[in-house]
Amino acid sequence: MPGTFAFETKIYTAGTEHYSLQDMLEHFVEQGPNRVSDLHLKTGYPPTFRVDGLLRRMEGPALAPDTVEGCIRLLLPEPRLRVLPEQRAVDGSYPYGGLLFRLNAFYDKDGPALAIRALAADPWPVPDIGFPNDVWHDIIARRFGLVLVTGIAGAGKSTTVAALLALIAAEQPCRIITLEDPIEYRIQGAKALVSQREVGRDVPDFARGVHDALREDPDVIFVGEMRDSDSAAWTLTAAETGHLVFSTLHTRDACGTITRILDMFPGARREETANQLALALSHIISQKLVARADGQGRVAAMEILNNSRAIANVIRNQKIEQISSFLQTRTKDISEERMTTLEHSLAQLVAQGVITSTEADRWANDRGMLTQELGSI
């Protein structure tokens, strides 16, 4: 059958070197997923790695569709392969070399393609994530509320959430239920009872998963992504009714996150949602991964919003533009404050010599604010 070969079969030649799919995945193991995060196998292009946030093509010929199809067949389970021709895109995961690879197989105008992302098999220790203050102590001590971790694709959202969940599972005798698409990190519960459910395998969608979870005696719930109004409504309800809930959104900052949620509920439901969010929200962590100055991987820069009474009032009245001033002024490292802008976080990393000012400028949401922050350090 075309596109069928073994994991160790040499399928690609770059210069004088020959590579199998196993060799390509081994590159992640050797360099570590913090440096080599992704591999793209796309018809009509050479294999392309993402190294320290930048794409690097292998120096060889373009991949044929049969080769890409064969890689998909090797990594995806049979149930996902059966639905791929009809759905045109499916997710999956594959363990290898102590890492877990998150997969998305799809078709574009050139033919089959496969996006592979590497994740450490075990969650990171929370102190290694790179929080700019001690806000994580407040988060893991909470018993209810909504914690949102946001950022663009590849910003390390899943890594941050998994680290927090793993610490809670290690220290607290509680019930944790996660809803993921797909499951990325394995959360081991030294004290907690943990159930990880995969969308498409264990539950049809996020909204149904949260609905079910509320009947399964949870203390902590992780909703992998708030994708639509149904999943957002159930997530807010879970947080509002006395559970600690984590979720993610593809937004770049705290203001954009709140606006995105409110925009999911147009018309009469918007005011109701604003009231619900003001009550339920605990924290928003918006993060970006920035290349280190020494070339050894990337580091997280974070914007952090703590839903104080003043912030809740702003959300309730939908005066979102006022949030920026709170992020700039409520910065003391005490539980009542612990807020920061992304620009302040970037400037601190520059001052510490962790990143360059050029990289900081590249990732800042507001370059003028970054200039002010750099000038004040």
pLDDT in tens, 49-70: 999 889 999 999 999 999 999 9
Q: What is the pLDDT at residue 3? A: 60
pLDDT at 295: 87
pLDDT at residue number 122:
86
- pLDDT, one tens digit per residue, over 181-214 is 888 899 988 899 999 999 988 999 999 999 999 9
Report pLDDT for 1.
41
What is the 3-state secondary structure of 205-262? CHHHHHHHHCCCCCCEEEECCCCCHHHHHHHHHHHHCCCEEEEEECCCCHHHHHHHHH
DSSP H/E element including 268: helix 268-280
Q: Is the pLDDT of residue 2 over 60?
A: no
pTM: 0.88
At 301, the amino acid letter reads: A
Tens digits of residue pLDDT in 261-276: 999 998 889 999 999 9
At 148-166, the pLDDT tens digits run 999 998 899 999 999 999 9
pLDDT at 8: 96
Report the half-sphere exposure of 175 (CA within 13 A, side-chain side). Answer: 8
Amino acid at position 52, single letter: D
Amino acid identity, position 279 = L
Side chain identity at residue 370, one-letter code:
L
344-373 burial: b if 16+ Cβ within 10 Å, else e: bbbbbbbeeebbebebbeebbbeeebbbeb
* Integer Cα distance of 138 and 305 in angstroms: 12
Does residue 182 have a cis bond before it (omega within 30 degrees)?
Answer: yes
Mean pLDDT (the chain) is 95
Q: Alpha carbon of 334 to those of 127, 284, 285, 331: distances in Å? A: 17, 16, 16, 8
- Tell me the pLDDT tens digit for each residue of 277-315: 999 999 999 999 999 999 888 999 999 999 999 999 999
pLDDT of res. 4 = 76
Q: What is the pLDDT of residue 30?
A: 95
In single-letter form, the type of residue at position 269 comes to R
Structural domains of the chain sorted by starting position, each given as residue range(s) with its CATH number in brackets: 10-120 (3.30.450.90), 126-340 (3.40.50.300)
For residue 330, the model assigns a pLDDT of 96
257: nearest Cα among 314, 194, 320: 320
pLDDT tens digits, one per residue of 315-356: 999 999 999 999 999 999 999 999 999 999 999 999 999 999
